[in-house]
Structure 1
């Protein structure tokens, strides 16, 4: 048991370090990448408030996807909303005492696992059966869906089929947070679940799943349509212009 405890604790630390460092570095790259042109997708908002509303509609409602394909939007929205509920439900393993609203959503988060699996199956079937989507799909696309399905199915099994000692698992999680390791439950479904979660965290910064933070830095989504009212000048272009003026003078 102590070998498994040490292995999964070190696996967890490694996954967290790679996830945080990888995502942080990609966000840094997004921030530093210049946007030399005004390229908002039309119809575009004319104010910063409008940009905020547009980003909200894209992040929460998947507005563009809804316009493009209703079936993909349905499965994608079901999966993402269910995943959010499941993640919020898992906060109970990291906090003590459990916040009231986390306790309130426990029944909804428990059954959200089935919605999450349904959405993933729909997205996988679409990727396999639609020829043009299958043609542009990479092995990594299937790997992401497979890892998410393993996470969803193994999590549902722990809740509805082979129950795990929740108190012992919470003690293990809290022990990892304080570097005071406690024995991990040895249920196969739990070990498979954790292994898949940690693997997903490791590959996340190098996968298409980066669309989660990336959408906030997309010039086609976060720019105001005001090229006539305000000249758009990237920082590097402003420096070049300043240098030219200095040389002319």
Structure 2
């Protein structure tokens, strides 16, 4: 490894350790905050399940197929499904860079690399176009919304270029990331496109806990989705209200 290669590898190792720490700690803090936030009212969106099992199934449908979005806005649902399902395949496929041996799920999705990348690209372009073209959506769109979509587009485009046109040394990339997991420094390929891709990924990891992308874990803490529709059968009291009522008695 040349002197320049050592410096670059050390720099990217530091960047990814820092990004991973910020992502994990930031998500942990936000999830703990969501869990502590009281829900003083019984406000499930009806028709809602009557049992906890039904609530779990409802949340699963929301997380996997975006049921309420399908009912409310089918064009947006199509854009979201294209992006999220493409992203899911890409994330599973990238598991090969941190596994010693490629697992069966990763092997299963390997042939879907190009279709998944195209689905992500089309979905993101449609989501961006919607924010720029539809006046009522453009009115409520802030700079952070555009920047987040641009960041995701940058990751998608650089990743697709490396998959389809400008190939990099994936063996070295895998060695670098498996080395990070065992706190060993291994060289990265001297590839500007790869470095741009990795910097964008690290940037996404860093901003994720502070962005609207928190709708991913936030879904599971939404009282309109995670409550049973049993206001007549059981009185709903959040923890702080119960404590106040106990003191009053």
Q: TM-score range by the shorter chain?
A: over 0.9
Counterpart mapping for 1:14-33 below 5 A: 14-33=18-37
Q: Which runs of 4+ in 1 moved over 6 A?
A: none
Corresponding residue number in structure 2 for 1:131? 135
Corresponding residue number in structure 2 for 1:143? 147
TM-score where L is the length of structure 2 = 0.96
Question: Secondary structure, in 3 states, of the residue corresponding to 1:105?
Answer: helix
More deviation, 78-87/59-68: 59-68
The whole-number CA distance in structure 1 between the counterparts of 2:121 and 2:132 is: 16
The whole-number CA distance in structure 2 between the counterparts of 1:223 and 1:28 is: 18
Would you say the 8 A contact 2:92–2:105 is kept in 1?
A: no
**C-alpha RMSD of matched pairs (Å):** 0.9
Choose from 205, 209, 213 the match for 2:213.
209
Point out where structure 1 has 5 or more consecutive residues left out of the alignment.
Answer: none
Instruction: Give aligned pairs, total.
Output: 245
Corresponding residue number in structure 2 for 1:177? 181
Choose from 155, 162, 165 the match for 1:158.
162
The reply on whether 1:39 has 2:43 as its aligned counterpart is: yes
Cα deviations by residue, 1:101-155 (Å, 9 ceiling, x for unpaired): 2112111134311111110001000010011111101111011101100111100
More deviation, 149-158/44-53: 44-53
Would you say the 8 A contact 1:86–1:110 is kept in 2?
A: no
The whole-number CA distance in structure 1 between the counterparts of 2:141 and 2:31 is: 25
Would you say the 8 A contact 1:18–1:202 is kept in 2?
A: yes
Point out where structure 2 has 5 or more consecutive residues left out of the alignment.
Answer: none
Cα deviations by residue, 1:157-198 (Å, 9 ceiling, x for unpaired): 111110000101111111111111111112111111100000
The reply on whether 1:9 has 2:16 as its aligned counterpart is: no
The reply on whether 1:94 has 2:98 as its aligned counterpart is: yes
Choose from 77, 97, 104 the match for 2:81.
77
Choose from 233, 236, 240 the match for 1:229.
233
Choose from 240, 244, 248 the match for 2:244.
240
